[in-house]
Structure 1
């Protein structure tokens, strides 16, 4: 995929899909700056990547804060001199109905799921514009396209907003040779899905044509493709990866 020596900034990298994305890119020679709020897990990830002979810098902090975005850009440019790939993966879910959702909960979900991506893009884009190239991949969800009883309205709204941000930036940044796409995973095996009851898991699998739940590595493979030269004529897209549970 011609990713050797590229530089990637990844938010929400301490576990789940974000961790798999970091490990996948590292195996292909990408130099990393990883972010999250769990310092212990981030350091463990960096140690694993270093053990494989690749470079990884840890920048802990809340991705919904402008200061964290600035710190990530500074770390990438200081250590590597460029930023080729940005993966906005930081996100949280909230399992509340509309009437149960408090205003502060609503704001927190939107801040982490979509405002963080806005702040990271705003911080990274000047570097990519100067380079005349870049790949931005936003990790969204099929919940952005169809409601889900197991997710709050705040989660769906935040991911729908992320999809629009993806399209807007793709149009705005095309003249600078910057590609912006979103990945919309469906049911994926993560720490969250491991907490499902067996009846609920069976019900989820029954609705998937491929009759299995995806792996975080499946999402990581798609992200690597979008980060590579193989995707050079793809921008402004929201790409589904869900075993057929949502088709468009």
Structure 2
């Protein structure tokens, strides 16, 4: 297993992509610190990881609060002594148009999606620099690359910020053997996609060349690749995972 003796921190791990990524990393040898806002679901995840034979601790909290990053990384150092992998997955969406979107809604989406990513990166990077090693994987979205009527402007703007932050940190951290990459999921079966109407689901499916909606496990596979030694010569990249709906 490529992640033996490594510690991974996963934010937003209670559902969907975050949960699938946490389980995938554990299946491949990583010990875990998992974060989320739902303590019941976090505890269920901890139990599943332990059943895989890996150690796992949970740190509840909203990533929009900088102290959540502090507490999560402190737990990783306390229990495991280091942080080798950081997966920034926590995120929220809104679907109001620009004119119907309140400024509080705009700020809330940016606080979680963009600022939360920054808080976790800033907190974990000193430890990775000290160890001259680390893998950071930021979960973004194809909404960062293409305007979409089904997403509020705050969502696309926050994810575009995550993409730029990924490239910038990759450049800054290259001297310390720290790889910073991202994944840009497209249509994936998550709690967000459960909000779709059947008509909208059919419209989405009709535009996917591979003719299916993705799964959290599809994204988790790419997260694992970027978190492992298989991606040692890749940094500053974002991988589109969307069945071909957006190609570049």
TM-score bracket, normalised by the shorter chain, equals over 0.9
Q: Give the equivalent residue in structure 1 for 2:218.
A: 218
Compute the displacement of 1:104 (Å): 0.6
- Paired residue secondary structure (1:189): coil
The answer (yes or no) to whether the contact 2:97–2:152 under 8 Å persists in 1 is: yes
- Paired residue secondary structure (1:116): helix
Q: Give the equivalent residue in structure 1 for 2:101.
A: 101
- Paired residue secondary structure (1:174): helix
Ranges in structure 1 where 5+ consecutive residues have no aligned partner: none
Q: Distance in 1 between matches of 2:105 and 2:196?
A: 22
Compute the displacement of 1:7 (Å): 0.4
Q: Give the equivalent residue in structure 2 for 1:228.
A: 228
Matches within 5 A, 1:150-229: 150-229=150-229
Ranges in structure 2 where 5+ consecutive residues have no aligned partner: none
Q: Distance in 1 between matches of 2:194 and 2:84?
A: 33
Compute the displacement of 1:73 (Å): 1.1
Q: Give the equivalent residue in structure 2 for 1:64.
A: 64
Q: Distance in 2 between matches of 1:196 and 1:6?
A: 38
CA distances 1:143-194 after superposition (whole Å, capped 9, x unpaired): 0000010000000000000000000000000000000001000000112223
Q: Distance in 2 between matches of 1:83 and 1:192?
A: 29
- Paired residue secondary structure (1:149): coil
Q: Distance in 2 between matches of 1:90 and 1:144?
A: 16
Q: Give the equivalent residue in structure 2 for 1:113.
A: 113
State which drifts further: 51-60 or 135-144: 51-60
CA distances 1:45-89 after superposition (whole Å, capped 9, x unpaired): 101111221111000001111111110111000000010000000
Q: Distance in 2 between matches of 1:229 and 1:126?
A: 21
State which drifts further: 165-174 or 196-205: 196-205
Q: Distance in 1 between matches of 2:230 and 2:53?
A: 25
Moved over 3 A (4+): none
Q: Matched residue pairs, number?
A: 248
Q: Give the equivalent residue in structure 2 for 1:134.
A: 134
The answer (yes or no) to whether the contact 2:7–2:83 under 8 Å persists in 1 is: yes
- Paired residue secondary structure (1:211): coil
Compute the displacement of 1:122 (Å): 0.4
TM-score (norm 2): 0.99
Compute the displacement of 1:195 (Å): 3.2
Q: Give the equivalent residue in structure 2 for 1:42.
A: 42
The answer (yes or no) to whether the contact 2:93–2:192 under 8 Å persists in 1 is: no
Q: Distance in 2 between matches of 1:193 and 1:66?
A: 28
Q: Distance in 1 between matches of 2:221 and 2:18?
A: 12
